[in-house]
Structure 1
Amino acid sequence: MEPKMKREITGGVESASVSPDQSKVDLQFEKRLIRKMDLHVCPWVMLIYLVSFLDRVNIGNARLFGMEADLGMKGSQYQTAVSVLFVTYLLFEVPSNLVIKKLRPSRYVAFITFAWGVVATLTGIVQSYGGLITCRLILGLFEAGLFPGMAVYLTFWYTRKELALRIGYLFVSSALAGAFGGLLATAIGQMDGVAGLRGQVPNRVEFLDTFHTHTHPSRGIPSVLLGLLTPFVLADSPETASWLTPAEKAYVRARQGESADAQKFHWHDVRKCFSDPKVYAFAVAQFGCDTMLYGFSTFLPTIISQLGRWNVTQTQLLTVPCYILGAVTYLATAYLSDRYQIRGWFCVAGGLISVLGYLILLVPVSSGGHYTGCFLVAMGLYVVVGIPLSWLPNNIPRYGKRTSATGFQLMIGNASGVMAPFLYATNEKPRYTRGHAVSLAMVALATCVYGLLAVSVHFDRLEKVLSWS
């Protein structure tokens, strides 16, 4: 049953509207609507982000298969290859986020997905370090707009109370990419000698951007196919979604509770973004968290390989449980965050768990103890990195400021991707003390900032309640 509708004239055009707080019938209607949006929006968004994140984490798996030797890399060239992607990523992140609505999300996401699939294909045939660097730079350019754009895109569909879990679906793809990457790397590594081919051939950075071959240069085909299909699967907004009825579209508008003007882009909203000190606080904290994210997700195979006498296959498999635990923990936390409308204190809790994990990695304990530390880092990692990506846009109703703030938050956070690879230098194995210590300090900084923001938000709400009374 659909809720009762009323007609109103706006600008000479008759439109349907609905009040979402009517009756028990409305609650049932809303639940069905949310499930419908979850079914049509979230899986495709997750799939695209999973494929995009694979190339970033799989360079760590590729290293175990001898990528440096195959491409003649020396010294810190591996770290440079990891970090250089973020140069173009940073330059194009905010501009990409500002244009996603003007160029239609379905078309824009389709284009960049198709483009990085082509780059992934070309990366599979590079024969030199210079070719690898070139492909990484171009890859960063095309991937720059995806995550911040998708974070804003989800705000078109979901209310503030529902957003953390849905961004959780998106962000957990990075953890699943790590787990999937380890499993697939193991499978491909076991193909050494099959049909006269080396199992090490897939050590090119994008070797996991395929699901069917490890030698042919068409390893970017999954991304290319997703790019071609996206315009037909991804709706630009609830208003253009063919799978929503007029009543459902009206209900989505009513649920958002925002004026049509608030959903338009205005430059004065952008200026307000950069005059808000809380936006800068979120950005600083994101930098600290992302330092941990890119260091841990890229170098986890290397870290685990130094904890014991394991071969490459065993090392790859040992990374999988860490990522799975991180994904499960994050989804559970995102659900609780939406249910109880708590953001900041979950960020603080996640940060403290990761700090504990790094402390264990720094002290002289057994290999089992250090492996436990990896689990603790993973448990807190995705919570403290992911929850703020819904917390900030939750508190910004206007589109222009919301997209600018989210893009700036992620741009500053991703700047850590340039630095993080150099924290785990080859000559510092097996303990990687500097990398763990810096990661600990950065996530501790982020935890403190989120604690202060949580207190600030609490007092802001208290002040509003007192003013109303």
Structure 2
Amino acid sequence: MQSGVTQPKYQRGGGWSNRSGGGLDDNYELYKRIRDVEIDLAQNKKVLRKVDSRILPVLMVTYFLQYLDKNCINIASVYGLKTDNHLKGQEYSWLTTLFYIGYLVFQFPFGYLLQHLPIGRLLSASTLCWGIILITTPACKSFAGLATNRFLLGAFESAVNPGFVLLMSMWYTTSEQPLRIEAYYATIGISTMFSGLIGYAVGHIATGLPRWEYIFLIFGAITTAWGLCSLYLLPDSPSTARFLTLDDRTIAIERVAANRQGIKNRVFKPYQTIHMIRDPKTWILFIMAVSGQVPTAAVTSFASINISSFGFDTLSSNYMLIPGGAVQLFGMLLGGWVATKWAGMRCIVMLVANSICIIGSGLLVGLPDSNKWGRLVALWLCYLQNLGFSMSLTMISSNIAGYTKKQLTAAVVFIGFCIGNAVGPQTFISSQAPHYPVAYKAMLIAYTIKLLMVIVLYIYMWMFNKKRDKEQAAVPVSEKEAIEMGMHDLTEFENKGFRYSL
């Protein structure tokens, strides 16, 4: 337990007292109906199937569009966007950086809104807004216009990643989360393959608007329409979900209460800010996010440019994105399945994925320019980096308790995500085109740092669990008490029945 912080106290038979106020979970009234009832396996599976059939498809489509929309500038870059907007020097790199600056600036504001407002409607509204912004991109005719557009696009997309992490902890048990997170995150791979096909198709348009403008108009229109659909489809919480019966809602709440984290609490608790700051996991995950995202530019906004630099023509540089997308898709689904099938495998999955990325970036640094196919395969290996990052998100959804602490931790981690993504494009120095030696060396260094941080994270959580086991032996805490503490919005430092998922 953290010292110097006002702690809630458990009164056996009398509940919890908490001077910070707002201790009860938003779903507590429904939870009380079933907390002493044992749910049979058939009921559990029935509700899980309903949740999977509604929540997962919405998350998958939204994430697919989010990734496609922010990276469609990559396709547009080889179809005249630079020329028509008179981009010079590092200005194209700055368009990617400015997206993540907008993403960074709005992390804490959206974190606050995600805690206080209905989460489903907020995420749907942000989807609608960024779709509209994307449609307006062809109106930009200069670097200043594109810079403003990209900043706003990043601002509205910034709600999605932390919002989805919070949704995972609201709807799924700890053991169910890895595969579900990877399922929606794996749409990055589908998006990469799809963008390659769209880029190839747009390349054959010979009349009408400049070809790069079609990309933003098509993707923006699709996202705007989906934002309207999401307003109807995405629920705000298990207790208000219209697609579930009243009995199903109580079972959905009881299932997730077993995580010992609660579900959602709209009251901001200042003391949990202190817990977040003092938690080593916060800063380990932050460093992992920064180092893991520095190389992202190589497989997103600079992917087509990189492939062209290997010696492939413009059309080939787009359809050669498809194998990289396949690596992402199947790698993430396999990693999610492994981490769900066997307990204690999350950090192992991250270590394996990151090691493969180190091999890929090492080959990019060491292979001669004449070996274009070897360099291409090396780039495809680096697409596994998203498995490592997405798996690290389960550390927030599964291993952070206290809703204020959870949303603040998510905000800090995604600020690190933004910093890494903002720095990455700047390693592609225009004067070094087309070989970019600094960029590839930066990738190798960043992957190595992340690998070390994964090891540190595993050791810290393993030691924490061992210490808790010893405390439990001296002063037992029942499972029922641990779950009750979670529904009273206590952090993992306060809840002595909490253990980390490794």
Partner of 1:378: 383
Q: Matches of residues 80-91 of structure 1 in structure 2 within 5 Å?
A: 80-91=94-105
The CA distance in 1 between the partners of 2:397 and 2:29, in whole Å, is: 32
Structure 1 segments unaligned to the other structure (5+ residues): 1-9, 212-218
Structure 2 segments unaligned to the other structure (5+ residues): 1-23, 474-502
Q: Partner amino acid for 2:336?
A: A
User: How far is 1:242 from its partner?
Assistant: 1.2
Q: Partner amino acid for 2:185?
A: F
- With 40-49 and 219-228 compared, the bigger mean Cα shift is at 219-228
Distance 1:232 1:444, change over 3 A: same
User: How far is 1:29 from its partner?
Assistant: 2.3
1:202 is aligned to 2:214: no
Q: Partner amino acid for 1:372?
A: V
1:156-191 per-residue CA deviation (whole Å, 9 max, x = no partner) reads: 101111111121122222232222111101101111
Q: Partner amino acid for 1:162?
A: E
Secondary structure at 2:223 match in 1? helix
Cα-Cα RMSD: 2.2
The CA distance in 2 between the partners of 1:294 and 1:181, in whole Å, is: 16
Alignment match of 1:17 (pick from 1, 22, 34): 34
Partner of 2:487: none
Partner of 2:426: 422
Partner of 2:347: 344
Alignment match of 1:359 (pick from 348, 357, 362): 362
The CA distance in 1 between the partners of 2:30 and 2:123, in whole Å, is: 31
Partner of 1:286: 289
1:316-336 per-residue CA deviation (whole Å, 9 max, x = no partner) reads: 111111111111111110111
- With 434-443 and 259-268 compared, the bigger mean Cα shift is at 259-268
1:152 is aligned to 2:169: no
1:72 is aligned to 2:111: no
Q: Partner amino acid for 1:182?
A: G
Partner of 2:441: 437
Partner of 1:128: 142
Partner of 2:61: 47
1:92 is aligned to 2:106: yes
Alignment match of 1:368 (pick from 365, 373, 390): 373
Distance 1:13 1:466, change over 3 A: closer
Shift >4 Å, 4+ stretches:
10-15, 18-22, 258-262
Alignment match of 2:323 (pick from 321, 324, 334): 321
User: How far is 1:41 from its partner?
Assistant: 0.4
Distance 1:259 1:158, change over 3 A: closer
Partner of 1:175: 189
The CA distance in 1 between the partners of 2:30 and 2:121, in whole Å, is: 28
1:397-418 per-residue CA deviation (whole Å, 9 max, x = no partner) reads: 2111111101111111211222
Identity of aligned residues (%): 20
Residue correspondences, number: 441
Partner of 1:410: 414
Partner of 1:216: none
Question: Is contact 1:287–1:413 with CA below 8 Å preserved after alignment?
Answer: yes
1:339-377 per-residue CA deviation (whole Å, 9 max, x = no partner) reads: 213211211111111000011111134222112211211
TM-score (norm 1): 0.89
1:409-466 per-residue CA deviation (whole Å, 9 max, x = no partner) reads: 1111211222111111233233321101101111110110011111221222223334
Question: Is contact 1:97–1:145 with CA below 8 Å preserved after alignment?
Answer: yes
- With 445-454 and 176-185 compared, the bigger mean Cα shift is at 176-185
TM-score (norm 2): 0.83
Distance 1:12 1:188, change over 3 A: closer
Q: Matches of residues 458-469 of structure 1 in structure 2 within 5 Å?
A: 458-469=462-473
Secondary structure at 1:100 match in 2? helix
The CA distance in 2 between the partners of 1:14 and 1:77, in whole Å, is: 54
The CA distance in 2 between the partners of 1:285 and 1:115, in whole Å, is: 30
The CA distance in 1 between the partners of 2:29 and 2:38, in whole Å, is: 27
Partner of 1:399: 403
Partner of 1:227: 227
Q: Partner amino acid for 1:294?
A: A
Question: Is contact 1:18–1:250 with CA below 8 Å preserved after alignment?
Answer: no
Q: Partner amino acid for 1:318?
A: M
The CA distance in 2 between the partners of 1:175 and 1:209, in whole Å, is: 20
Partner of 2:16: none
Question: Is contact 1:81–1:133 with CA below 8 Å preserved after alignment?
Answer: yes
Partner of 1:215: none
Q: Partner amino acid for 2:225?
A: L
